Amino acid sequence: MKKKIFFSIFFFFIISGTISYAVPNNYNGKGSIIISKNMLEELFEYFVGPKSKQPEIFLISEDKSNFYKTSFRNYGQKSFINGSGGIKRHKLKCERKFKQNCDLFANARVIVWDNGINPMKKKTSSIKYNSTKEDLVISLNELGFEISDVNNADEQNIIILDKNFGKN
């Protein structure tokens, strides 16, 4: 009887102490993608910045010419990965705005686009908040993304939602 109770308590603590580092992949984009200069600038602005500006979601439209990104003020909390509910909500906003399907490119600071090379793991596909533009280009190349020298900014629409919590 004591063994049963001991194993039950031990099993409970093992299960309850487990932390999930899974990145939801229901809405991830798939296929090859060429990153334009304009998109590279937007990605750099999205990933890099003070720790207080936490990137949330970066979506790309189906024709890969429109971007939708959100961030929020982080007051000392740990970084997080959005669950499928938050991703779906922003995906629907993106699709309504651009009137086409939108796919997830990055969730927080993790690139989740499935190009066949990107492992889509938090440890290997993350971009650090203090990266330089050169570091970002190197990381994107290592993850299998091609960067174009062409700037098609006149063809691209960018939606930025920055929620400044705690504004005076």
The reported pLDDT for the residue numbered 79 is 61
Residue 162 has pLDDT above 70, yes or no: no
In a domain, 74, yes or no: yes
Domain tally for the chain? 1
Instruction: Report which of residues 106 and 160 the model is more confident about.
Output: 106
- Band of pLDDT at residue 168, cut at 50, 70 and 90: very low
Query: Does some domain include residue 107?
Result: yes
- Is 106 a member of any domain? yes
Q: Find, among 54, 14, 25, the residue nearest to 125 by Cα.
A: 25
- pLDDT at position 49: 76
Instruction: Check whether 125 has a pLDDT greater than 90.
Output: yes
For residue 10, being part of any structural domain is answered with no
Which regions of the chain does DSSP assign to beta strands (E)?
Answer: 34-35, 53-61, 66-73, 102-107, 110-111, 146-147, 157-163
Does some domain include residue 110?
A: yes
Model confidence band, residue 23 (pLDDT cutoffs 50, 70, 90): low
In a domain, 168, yes or no: no
| 124 in a structural domain | yes
> Cα separation of 36 and 39, whole Å?
5
What mean pLDDT value characterizes the chain?
A: 80
Look at residue 165 in the predicted model and tell me its pLDDT.
42
Distance CA 13, CA 145 (A): 42
At 56-104, the pLDDT tens digits run 899 999 998 899 998 887 766 666 677 788 899 999 999 999 999 999 9
Is residue 149 a part of any domain in this protein? yes
How many angstroms separate the CA atoms of 90 and 57, rounded? 8
pTM, to two decimals: 0.75
pLDDT of residue 20: 47
Domain range for 121 is 22-163
